[in-house]
Structure 1
Amino acid sequence: MNRLKALGRLLPRLVVAVAAGIMLGFAFEPHTHPWLTVIALPLFFAALNGSALKGSAQSSKAGFLIGAAFGIAYYATLVPWLSVIGGDAAIALAILEGLFYAVFGAFAVRVFRHKLWPLWIPSLWVATEFATASVPFGGFPWGRLAWAFSDSPLGRLAAYVGIPGLSFIIAVLGLLVYVVFRQATKFRIRVLAVLAGVAIFGGSAVIDLPTDGNGKTVTAAMVQGNVPGKGLEFLGRARTVTKNHLAATLDLEKRVQAGTEAKPDVVIWPENSTDIDPFKDDETRADIEQAVKAVDVPILVGAVLEGPGPNERQTTGVVWDPQTGPGQVYAKRHPVPFGEYVPFREQLLPYIKRLEMVGRQTAPGKTVGIMPIRGVTYGDVICFELAYDNVIADVMNGGAQVLIVQTNNATYGGTGQPEQQFAITRMRAIETGRTVLIASTSGISGVIQPDGKVEHKSGQFVSDVYVAKVPVRDGKTLAIRLGAWPQWILTGLGLLGILLALASRSKPKPQAPPAPKPARQKVPV
């Protein structure tokens, strides 16, 4: 009976948590309502902080359930595009990522009782995002709060505090809104919360990010040749994709010869512009060399290469020079689990036949994507690994003056995934202070300026060639100089908050001293 009563008290909070998760999912592309974060987060915090049932064990269980409800609803709303692979895959990912927020909830209900909870809770959020971006199989850093703010003045703060720091600030804003509407909060505290929120918004609005370079510019052409089908249909049509990019490049050269287009210094083909190894296939190699000789400048080719081991492949960017031929190769360092390789392949394939579509295992690369091409140092990043902090930090520390993203979103075209990735790319431009050149097989290709503004954004499933003259930059933003320290410090603070909250709960309450016994009065005889 007591359990039914407890469940009855918990059910409304679970409903609020689910609503908050769905709302937070709509803050991101393709819906683009970042202001929903300052509604969704306070609702989630309210559901958690009202979950303290009698007994610490019950309270933690309630927090776990509330966090799970929030996290599963959040990811189900954020990444429905995974249903292209299969509805079960989308559900499995939502449940997996939801468990991280379940753990957050289990600890948060304790942390809310500590006097320094306004510091511990946002730090614990960063720790949760750090965990989702790290495990399992390298993590899935797609749901970080910062990604929703590429079009907001708040996004400019990423140039100073990085992506983890921006997520912390957004969580703080959500907490400030929660404080304002919290019933037990004093009026003075509410006023301070409002002033703090206004200061954060106002401060970000006056930030003016520099975009000038070191006096040097480079002219680059992004080639989107398009693919012959949508979803998984384009698989197995590799020659057509390569010839589409050849045709688009030859058309670019015609415009250059006619004087209607500037001659580029470099041409960028996207990831999977050839799925057939040009070092093993004469026809593919001939197509690439025809394109390179026509434009007479290096082409960065997105090629799938065989090896290094048996039944293995690598997704790469290959610099192909018109005089010297193929040169430096960058192999993707973060291949996608269950998309480009299958963990526990031998154990899973007998039970999940669909995994056979993955084909050969994609072996991760070992070197950083630093590509010096004709006096300019490019940082090459391939598709999903754009979301991983260490990949971006490595190319920046390697001296990247311009960033390149080679990507293939054809599987997810029209699902909202390309828009989400484009938003992540914009945040990386702000964080690094670099121009980002994006080449996609089918969209979205484009050019993003160092302050996150969009110079060009292609449509999807169309042929698109864009030539841009962009600044070459050497200076590093504060975020890049700080590196991973903000994430480590904030994660450490979150864990410290958990320890202090658990320690304060485990301390025995001081017992009141026993009342003195009344003096015995003598009874007169």
Structure 2
Amino acid sequence: MVAVTAAGFALYAGSPPREAWWVAPLAVAVLAAVVRHREVRAGFGYGVVFGFAFLLPLLGWLQDFLGADFGPWPWLGVAAVEALFIGLAGAGMALVSRLPTAPVWMAAVFVTAESVRSAFPFGGFPWGRLAFTQDTGPLLSLAALGGTTLVSFSVALIGGGLAELVRAPRRWAVPVAAIAVPLVGGLACWPLVGTDANAGTARVAIVQGNAPNLGLGLLYEDEVLHDNHVRAAQKLVDDVRAGRVARPDFALFPEQVGSWGPSRTDPELSAIASQLGVPLVVGGLGQDGDGRLHNQVVRWDPGTGFGDRYVKKHLVPFAETIPMREFARLVSPFVDRFQSDMTPGEEPGVIDVAGLKLGVGVCYDVAYNDVFGPAAAQGATLLAVPTNNAWYGHSEMSYQQLAMSRLRAVETGRAVLVGATSGVSAVVAPDGSVTAQTDLFTEENLTAEVPLRANRTPATELGSVPMWTLAVLGVGAIAAAGWRSRKSDA
């Protein structure tokens, strides 16, 4: 119990913003060693403890956000529910640990549990996937080959190999291969991670207008967010006119800057677009003529205003969509803020802007595997993540999200622009390196020349194939181990 508790906390301690990619395989190795050859119930219990010790500090930003008004219960509740899925992973790992080449099956089971908790309940919660600890290090390049699923599998495979090597050192061939193959494969893939501008370049501006650090007090401060970003954009206009900054091809604004009814007008944004002479890409709340609410990103054109848009695909449970409203009132302030659920989008986020195709995902979207890959497959040569992290104070949340953007950059072979209301805004190169970023709770504009890339990575071509392949392997291994166990009992 002490070992898995320490390992779970160590997994958190090795997560962004700390760059310690090597901690994650060691943490998984401890879990794998503890559950190896144990009963399924014991594996479940140890997995829950490991998961809770990892997720409770990782999700500390939930307490920063909601704690003053709702106490620790939302934070504890989310961490506990997600830890149950890691408990299921521990149970499955215990069961398959007696199979030949056990590290492979244990890793497949762990990643299967990750995939399940990324989809259920209420659309899932992918935060804390093993892949998101690998925004640096040799395994990052594997995202270009098989996406975040392959990166998570590689971390778990190394961990399983280390556990097997310690517990059964005489049978060293399989565990050594389990350790070596992902590491060597990751190093071998780095030359394949391209950064060349094979579809040209674009000059972009990211406007970070800042927000007051009010936590829940920000809930009804839409006008403050709007005005702050208009003011910051006016400084960009002044810098361009004075020649201090080259005119961008377009300017990216964060999530929740605008708020538009069916008329879809915003004189201040239209004035900024006209003065710059280039389109803006702006996130905001929108209400259509039929009354449906959306969290959307809009191209705002000089002269004509509201243009093409992307509607956020993955809505945040108990915030943008609210199940069990009467219960949710006890744990969420958004029940009273939005009287009806937002409507999610169904189409990949590809917006034509300034002669290029921009792939867009809003905030929470970046944690999911089905947003940016399809956008790249449909021709996006550059990606953008407008987000509003001002709710979470000076917590680690923004840096955890930036790590996800770094994974998506390598996965798709695209540069990624992160535009945040209060930081961290950033420019991420196609190899996952951060070439520019802002501080938290500052007003700052970034400008950069970024590469546009048209080629598709293997991960983009494969889509969800790695996830389903490992799910089949994981479920198949559990079924095979269960059959063997019943046969031996008989």
TM-score between both structures, scaled by the size of structure 1: 0.87
Q: How far 1:497 sits from its partner (Å)?
A: 0.4
Q: Aligned in 2, Cα 1:314/1:72: closer, same or farther, shift over 3 Å? A: same
User: Which of 163, 173, 186 is the equivalent residue of 1:178?
Assistant: 163
Q: Letter of the aligned partner of 1:269 in structure 2?
A: F
Q: Structure 1 CA distance, aligned partners of 2:403 and 2:137?
A: 11
Q: Tell me if structure 2 keeps the 8 A contact 1:227–1:442.
A: yes
Q: Tell me if structure 2 keeps the 8 A contact 1:223–1:464.
A: yes
Q: Aligned in 2, Cα 1:75/1:263: closer, same or farther, shift over 3 Å? A: same
In the TM superposition, what are the counterparts of 1:218-297 in structure 2 within 5 Å?
A: 218-274=202-258, 276-277=259-260, 279-280=262-263, 285-297=266-278
Structure 1 residues 309-359: Cα deviation after superposition (integer angstroms, max 9, x where no partner): 54x5211111111133211121111110012221122x4256557453542
Q: Letter of the aligned partner of 1:175 in structure 2?
A: G
What is aligned with 1:523? none
What is aligned with 1:433? 413
Q: How far 1:15 sits from its partner (Å)?
A: 2.3
The alignment status of 1:371 with 2:351, answered yes or no, reads yes
In the TM superposition, what are the counterparts of 1:322-471 in structure 2 within 5 Å?
A: 322-345=302-325, 347-348=326-327, 354-360=333-339, 361-471=341-451
Q: Structure 2 CA distance, aligned partners of 1:268 and 1:149?
A: 27
Q: Letter of the aligned partner of 2:418 in structure 1?
A: I
Structure 1 residues 153-188: Cα deviation after superposition (integer angstroms, max 9, x where no partner): 221111112110111111111112112211x331xx
Kindly name which structure, 1 or 2, has the bigger radius of gyration based on alpha carbons. 1
Q: Structure 2 CA distance, aligned partners of 1:402 and 1:329?
A: 16
User: Which of 190, 199, 214 is the equivalent residue of 2:172?
Assistant: 190
Q: Structure 2 CA distance, aligned partners of 1:279 and 1:412?
A: 31
Q: Structure 2 CA distance, aligned partners of 1:78 and 1:423?
A: 13
What is aligned with 1:520? none
What is aligned with 2:283? 302
5+ long unaligned stretches in structure 2: none
Q: Structure 2 CA distance, aligned partners of 1:353 and 1:166?
A: 33
- Aligned pairs, number: 482
Q: Letter of the aligned partner of 1:404 in structure 2?
A: A
Deviates more, 1:239-248 or 1:165-174: 239-248
5+ long unaligned stretches in structure 1: 1-13, 53-58, 511-525
Q: How far 1:279 sits from its partner (Å)?
A: 5.0
Q: Structure 1 CA distance, aligned partners of 2:488 and 2:274?
A: 79
Q: Structure 2 CA distance, aligned partners of 1:203 and 1:502?
A: 32
Q: Structure 2 CA distance, aligned partners of 1:404 and 1:281?
A: 22
Q: Aligned in 2, Cα 1:164/1:308: closer, same or farther, shift over 3 Å? A: farther
Q: How far 1:205 sits from its partner (Å)?
A: 3.2
Q: Tell me if structure 1 keeps the 8 A contact 2:374–2:460.
A: no
Secondary structure, aligned partner of 1:180: helix
What is aligned with 1:49? 36
Q: Tell me if structure 2 keeps the 8 A contact 1:242–1:287.
A: no
User: Which of 94, 104, 115 is the equivalent residue of 2:89?
Assistant: 104
Q: Structure 2 CA distance, aligned partners of 1:159 and 1:479?
A: 5
Q: Letter of the aligned partner of 1:317 in structure 2?
A: V
Q: How far 1:203 sits from its partner (Å)?
A: 4.3
What is aligned with 1:7? none
Q: Structure 1 CA distance, aligned partners of 2:357 and 2:332?
A: 43
Q: Structure 2 CA distance, aligned partners of 1:306 and 1:104?
A: 41
What is aligned with 1:204? 186
Structure 1 residues 173-222: Cα deviation after superposition (integer angstroms, max 9, x where no partner): 1112112211x331xx3366446534543443352321112252111110
The alignment status of 1:484 with 2:464, answered yes or no, reads yes
TM-score between both structures, scaled by the size of structure 2: 0.93
Identical-pair percentage: 33
Structure 1 residues 290-323: Cα deviation after superposition (integer angstroms, max 9, x where no partner): 111111110111121124654x521111111113
The alignment status of 1:67 with 2:54, answered yes or no, reads no
Q: Aligned in 2, Cα 1:502/1:193: closer, same or farther, shift over 3 Å? A: closer
Structure 1 residues 462-514: Cα deviation after superposition (integer angstroms, max 9, x where no partner): 0111111112211001111111111111110000000110101111568xxxx
Q: Structure 1 CA distance, aligned partners of 2:480 and 2:252?
A: 52
User: Which of 122, 129, 134 is the equivalent residue of 1:149?
Assistant: 134
Q: Structure 1 CA distance, aligned partners of 2:55 and 2:475?
A: 24
Q: Tell me if structure 2 keeps the 8 A contact 1:308–1:363.
A: no
User: Which of 1, 7, 15 is the equivalent residue of 1:20?
Assistant: 7
Q: Letter of the aligned partner of 2:466 in structure 1?
A: P
What is aligned with 1:40? 27
> Over aligned residues, Cα RMSD in angstroms?
2.0
Q: Tell me if structure 2 keeps the 8 A contact 1:249–1:295.
A: no
Q: How far 1:223 sits from its partner (Å)?
A: 0.4
Secondary structure, aligned partner of 1:251: helix
Q: Letter of the aligned partner of 1:375 in structure 2?
A: G
Q: Aligned in 2, Cα 1:508/1:381: closer, same or farther, shift over 3 Å? A: closer
Q: Structure 1 CA distance, aligned partners of 2:243 and 2:330?
A: 59
Q: Structure 1 CA distance, aligned partners of 2:463 and 2:104?
A: 22
Q: Tell me if structure 1 keeps the 8 A contact 2:349–2:375.
A: yes
Q: How far 1:374 sits from its partner (Å)?
A: 2.8
Q: How far 1:373 sits from its partner (Å)?
A: 1.3
Q: How far 1:70 sits from its partner (Å)?
A: 1.2
User: Which of 104, 110, 114 is the equivalent residue of 1:125?
Assistant: 110
Q: How far 1:99 sits from its partner (Å)?
A: 0.8
Q: Tell me if structure 2 keeps the 8 A contact 1:155–1:166.
A: yes
What is aligned with 1:3? none
The alignment status of 1:113 with 2:94, answered yes or no, reads no
Q: Structure 2 CA distance, aligned partners of 1:386 and 1:350?
A: 27
Q: Tell me if structure 2 keeps the 8 A contact 1:340–1:358.
A: no
Secondary structure, aligned partner of 2:309: strand
Q: Letter of the aligned partner of 2:151 in structure 1?
A: L
Structure 1 residues 233-263: Cα deviation after superposition (integer angstroms, max 9, x where no partner): 3222222221211111111121112212111
Q: How far 1:229 sits from its partner (Å)?
A: 2.9
